[in-house]
Amino acid sequence: MPTAFEHDVLIIGTGAAGLSLALHLPSHYRIALLSKADLNQGSTFWAQGGMAAVLHDRDTINSHVEDTLAAGAGLCQREAVEFTVRNSRHCVEWLVQQGVDFDLRDDQLDAEGREFHLTMEGGHSHRRIIHAADRTGRAISEVLTERALERDNIEVFTHRVAVDLVCDGGRCRGAYVLDRRSEHVDLFQARAVVLATGGASKAYLYTSNPDGASGDGIAMAWRAGCRVANLEFNQFHPTCLYHPRAKSFLISEALRGEGAKLRLPDGTRFMPAFDERAELAPRDVVARAIDHEMKRLGLDCVFLDISHQPREFLESHFPTIMERCAEFGIDITSEPIPVVPAAHYTCGGVIVDTAGRTDVPGLYAIGETSCTGLHGANRMASNSLLECIVYAESAAADIAASIDALPVPTLAPAWDESQVTDSDEDVVISHNWDELRRFMWDYVGIVRTNKRLQRALHRVTLLQAEIAEYYGNYKVGNDLLELRNLAMVAELMIRCAIERKESRGLHYTLDYPDTLPVAENTVLTPSNSPLQG
């Protein structure tokens, strides 16, 4: 039978953002932490490269800020960038205190007896990427998960998928949540609700993201009345492993930071012809260059070559990539890696302030779900983990400062499934899922046109009508909920792309190849927004 739960804070998502926020909240708050699957299954766990932070005397806060602003193609909010970068060293220190073992240099020590090994990535003017080999996300995720499980006030619920938010009296007061094991929808109520569900890159046919990246938080926030912004900016990582059995495996940008070269099948380098920074150009430039060469020559992939580095260097810096490539018969010490671009990061999202507050009182959004203004039109490499930790702490501080004055929510109605039946037509879900991801890849991909976007909008409108009919008649399940959310976010992505009459950052359209002199955010406002009144 469905159950009603009551907590002080409900956190939906167990990546770096959600876990950090839970750990930053005072220990006397009762916290519910919801995970879509088992713990350590989300995007944080699979993040390879590292986290950007100003940690060396040769680096400066201003340099990191200016690099981020440049990568964001004029659309970053300087306040958000400065806020994030100023807190970068503090966040690294906090992660170290939690037990994260970042790689150290052994040839030079700082005053505390250590100096972190820092690497270089595209768009950065200094080595400022702190990492744990090529398993940085895994190191952070496992340590923060361990710390959360140690806390008596944090109750972890796995295999739970949020259906929709519960709003009453102008505030968010909880969520309806599907228990994937019992197949019942339970009610979770809290005085503050935090969306930390990640991005929406599963809207695309090819992606580096795990299966759960279906835009759940963005879709739920929109349905609850929150504005969204800049969803036309979908970052395509230039280098995912190209192999029929290598599902969603990312080849870290850190390889290019250590000298890896992109080559055509005949061995010719091509990046210098596209940008003076060559392989270290921002991701949108590199992804478009690869896309151009693949289409020009009819290639299935291009190749990333780091075979000039010694085996010992590769084994110590990129063990995961070496092992994964070896599984498919690729020896990166002696041959190049076949790679293709893939949808990687959702740069837009739910509009928030520096405390993670959305338009709906009581509702917060952090991490990839949110649009803080940090990324602008293109996320600079390794700023995302930093954003998760910084905004988790600021949102926790805001919740702690305000929550005691808020009343405990009155009991909301239980989820009503008395009028629905079990479906015997699940093929509809899988068919629509495949169609959505394919037309998003073909029509709303790396290069766009007005005609392609209009076709995509037409298709997603028809698709949503089918999904709504199905949703209204059958019991909800994980696949249906993900499809519903992906279709919603896909529509928002398409509408944002249609609104932008220029090419900027990650949004490149053949109909408007020039960049306008003034950068403006693309903001969509739902009809039930509290700002409409």
**Residue type present at position 46:** W
**Residue 486 φ/ψ, nearest 5 degrees:** -60, -40
Q: CA 114 → CA 103, 117, 254, distances in Å?
A: 10, 10, 22
List the structure tokens of 258.
Answer: 């250590």
List the structure tokens of 418.
Answer: 């008395």
Q: CA 135 → CA 15, 50, 51, 140, 385, distances in Å?
A: 15, 8, 11, 9, 13
**Cβ-contact 12, 165 below 8 angstroms:** no
**Cβ-contact 260, 279 below 8 angstroms:** yes
Burial class (CB in 10 A: 0-12, 13-18, 19+), 108: exposed
Residues 6+ apart with CB under 8 A from 159: 35, 36, 37, 38, 179, 180, 181
Rounded distance between C-alpha atoms, residue 364 and residue 382, angstroms: 23
Out of 128, 160, 171, 283, the active site residue is: 283
Rounded distance between C-alpha atoms, residue 366 and residue 193, angstroms: 11
Sheet of 370-371, strand order: 370-371, 349-351, 228-229, 523-524
**Cβ-contact 304, 276 below 8 angstroms:** no
What count of Cα atoms within 13 Å lies in the side-chain half-sphere of residue 198?
Answer: 29
**Cβ-contact 224, 366 below 8 angstroms:** no
**Cβ-contact 223, 319 below 8 angstroms:** no
- In this structure, the chain runs to a length of 533
Residues 6+ apart with CB under 8 A from 113: none
Q: CA 386 → CA 49, 158, 161, 238, 264, distances in Å?
A: 12, 25, 26, 21, 34
283 a catalytic residue: yes
Q: Supply angle C-alpha 531, 371, 81, rounded to 5.
A: 120
Would you tell me how many other CB atoms lie within 10 Å of the CB of residue 104? 14
List the structure tokens of 80.
Answer: 């958000």
Catalytic positions = 283
